[in-house]
Structure 1
Amino acid sequence: MHTVLIIDDSDINLTLIKALVLKLGECTPVLYDNPLAALEWCRSHEPDLVIVDYMMPEMDGLRFISAFRALHGRNEIPVLMITANDQKDIRYEALLGGANDFLTKPIDRIEFSARARNMLSLRTGQKFLADRAEHLAALVDDRTREIREREKELIFRMSRAAEFRDPETGAHIQRMAHYSQIIARGLGLGPSMEQLVLEAAPMHDVGKIGIPDYILLKPGKLTPEEFDVMKGHARLGHELLKDSGSEILRAGAEVAISHHEKYDGSGYPFGLKGSHIPLLGRIVAVADVFDALTSERPYKRAWSLDDARRFLEDGRGTHFDPICIEAFLAGWDDVLDIRQRFRDEEIPQI
């Protein structure tokens, strides 16, 4: 069913055109004798065809077409303008202003039927293409979402593969990732960056896959030589993830190489200082250290929340970026909620 908007200040013309529209079949005419009122109707309704007279008080047909075309989504709706035979200049101006075709007075029934049907056929084609484009866009969105979900699952499994070789847990991955998101939110980075941080943070220690067991699983303190090998996991993680076609994996590479840098330049692997440390690394450093401190492991007791919080505060400007600490502490209620949502299983002490 097509909606046909008819605008003419003459009741006789409105009645005539309405009758001709009804004879087309499958059309609902909407009549206005005032172009301003018709324009207001068009703000919330979308006709399939507009038939508008040129000579009208308050707003002539040219001005109506111009105002109609200015409305959102009304650029391609067919418009027929009614003019007199001797108004060629008006027709030229109307064509430039957005009219698609013309009817001349007095209106010929056969000519009206042909022109109106052509315009409605054009509109049917437009709507079909629009629906098709919307359908294809929805399919693309669905497929993209599926790919993203598989990518996220792969990333989580890669991160867990590293954690399986380390005394940490899947819950640690979830907590530190969500803590990182809290910091990104507190820094005002926007929803897309928050999501990227959430998805990239779990890959911070993926390079531990390449660290020998005798070092990775050593219960005591590492020797300086062993610690040098352990520090290599940052570079290994970066090498594993860099140059990926995935934005998330590239972000993960940045996290892996930079989350052990310290704000005062005393970290590794490059000894970067302050803003020279990538922002993702500065964010994840806070989240990772906090969760490590407050998590119980076979070789250590968990720190209290107060002690861990004090450690972060004391590390402002030395270990940690002060603005990242501020953002983390500003989201403290969310931090506590995340700790409850992602809890470790009971771990036996040795």
Structure 2
Amino acid sequence: MTARQHLTAPKHPAIAEHRYHEARILVVDDQAANVRLLEVFLAEAGYHHVEGMTDSTLVLERMDAGPLDLLLLDMRMPTLDGLSVLHLLQEAIHQEGLQVIVLTAQAERETRLAALGLGARDYLVKPFDTEEVQCRIRNALETRFLNQDREGEAERLEELVTRRTEQLIETQFELMRCLARAGEFRDSDTGSHILRVSVGCHLLAQAAGLGRRQVELIRYAAMMHDIGKIGIADEVLLKPSKLTPEEFEQIKAHCQFGVDILGDYYADVTQMARDIAFTHHERWDGQGYPRGLAGEAIPIEGRITAIIDVYDALTSARPYKSAMPAEDALAIIRDGAGSQFDPRLVAHFIAVFPEFQRQMRQFNHH
């Protein structure tokens, strides 16, 4: 066959011409003369990266060395014939998009059909017609590049969706922070409490081995644990002295108020916040409120928040009490293991207590 200087097949307007010239092509034929003939022809036709080999057992080694766009594969070879090579290249063909054109003799119809069934894109019959070679190679590479472009566009769209989703989630979290701060505005601690509870719950959730997603969610959801206090009258919520039994009953209603305020929304962070708001005053022994849940019937997010919330309340100054020293508050948490608190979580809290104190210092909390 005679080599041509330029490709004569129709050009696809969406694919830049240089991509064809830079295509990585491998010719495999046990006859060195056939390999050399195709190498010279393809080089003169404008392809810059053409390799040839006569030993088909080296094809996989070459695939490991770097990607290929097109394989021109002879069918009749000793040791490892073309069909055997195709069997070995199934992943590269069907998952990585490798294009294969098999080289066969006119009489090898069954072999051609078997090769096409194994994923070969096309075939060339010996002796080769130069225009046919050009067109079939061009078509195979066009398919390769269009598939790459579609995959690239799919990845770009997936990245865009991921970025927009992250922005939406961050917006949800920011709205939660704003709503939580609104709830704390009525308290003298004006927001520091929700931040301390958020950081403490995040740390304890990590120590307890919760999944990465749960650990991240609780950082934000725990901020909403007392959002229901918005519904409590000022004269009860801000009372500077000890509450009467009747007033304490009013305070207990903030758990249900929290559920009502957060609503029945589908977002994961909202669902977790609702569970925390409703259950962070339940006790391990079933003596808590509002439902008297016990043990693992209490969601673990509620059990975690219960420990951090009580510790922070003990160590915070209020109009009706002074702040308790950290070691005394830790002793109360330790003594409450198995009665008020999940004993396993208490053990985790004690284990991370030095780190917990270090993180609390950023709030200048005394």
Query: Paired residues, what number?
Result: 345
Q: Which amino acid aligns with 2:162?
A: D
Q: Indicate if the aligned counterparts of 2:93 and 2:99 stay in contact, CA closer than 8 A.
A: no
Determine the C-alpha separation between the residues in 2 that align with 1:160 and 1:138: 33
Alignment partner of 2:28 out of 7, 12, 16: 7
Determine the C-alpha separation between the residues in 2 that align with 1:264 and 1:25: 80
Determine the C-alpha separation between the residues in 1 that align with 2:235 and 2:220: 30
1:177 and 2:177 aligned: no
Deviations 1:157-206 (A, max 9, x none): 10111111123343322221222122222222221111122221111111
How far the C-alpha of 1:115 sits from its partner, in A, is 0.4
Report the more deviating stretch, 262-271 or 53-62: 53-62
The two structures, once aligned, show a CA RMSD in angstroms of 2.0
1:50 and 2:62 aligned: no
1:336 and 2:347 aligned: no
Name the counterpart of 1:233. 254
How far the C-alpha of 1:274 sits from its partner, in A, is 0.8
Name the counterpart of 2:293. 272
Determine the C-alpha separation between the residues in 2 that align with 1:263 and 1:341: 31
Determine the C-alpha separation between the residues in 1 that align with 2:323 and 2:101: 77
Q: Which amino acid aligns with 1:321?
A: D
How do 1:289-308 and structure 2 match up within 5 A? 289-308=310-329
SS of the counterpart of 2:253? helix
How do 1:193-342 and structure 2 match up within 5 A? 193-342=214-363
> Structure 1's 249 and 288: CA in aligned 2 closer, same or farther, altered over 3 A?
same
Determine the C-alpha separation between the residues in 2 that align with 1:272 and 1:286: 16
Could you state the TM-score of these two structures normalised by the residue count of structure 1? 0.92
SS of the counterpart of 1:120? helix
1:28 and 2:49 aligned: yes
Deviations 1:91-123 (A, max 9, x none): 222122111111122222111101000011111
1:125 and 2:125 aligned: no
Q: Indicate if the aligned counterparts of 1:6 and 1:51 stay in contact, CA closer than 8 A.
A: yes
How far the C-alpha of 1:336 sits from its partner, in A, is 2.4
SS of the counterpart of 2:214? helix
Q: Indicate if the aligned counterparts of 1:42 and 1:68 stay in contact, CA closer than 8 A.
A: no
Query: 5+ residue gaps in structure 1?
Result: none
How do 1:95-174 and structure 2 match up within 5 A? 95-174=116-195
Could you state the TM-score of these two structures normalised by the residue count of structure 2? 0.88
How far the C-alpha of 1:52 sits from its partner, in A, is 1.6
Q: Indicate if the aligned counterparts of 1:207 and 1:238 stay in contact, CA closer than 8 A.
A: yes
> Structure 1's 46 and 317: CA in aligned 2 closer, same or farther, altered over 3 A?
same
Determine the C-alpha separation between the residues in 2 that align with 1:50 and 1:332: 62
How far the C-alpha of 1:58 sits from its partner, in A, is 3.6
Q: Identity across aligned pairs (percent)?
A: 37
Determine the C-alpha separation between the residues in 2 that align with 1:273 and 1:323: 14
Q: Which amino acid aligns with 1:280?
A: E
> Structure 1's 280 and 263: CA in aligned 2 closer, same or farther, altered over 3 A?
same
Determine the C-alpha separation between the residues in 1 that align with 2:48 and 2:196: 60
Q: Indicate if the aligned counterparts of 1:43 and 1:71 stay in contact, CA closer than 8 A.
A: no
> Structure 1's 236 and 53: CA in aligned 2 closer, same or farther, altered over 3 A?
same
How far the C-alpha of 1:8 sits from its partner, in A, is 2.6
Q: Indicate if the aligned counterparts of 1:294 and 1:302 stay in contact, CA closer than 8 A.
A: yes
Determine the C-alpha separation between the residues in 1 that align with 2:52 and 2:148: 23
Name the counterpart of 2:82. 61
> Structure 1's 47 and 265: CA in aligned 2 closer, same or farther, altered over 3 A?
same
Q: Indicate if the aligned counterparts of 2:241 and 2:319 stay in contact, CA closer than 8 A.
A: no
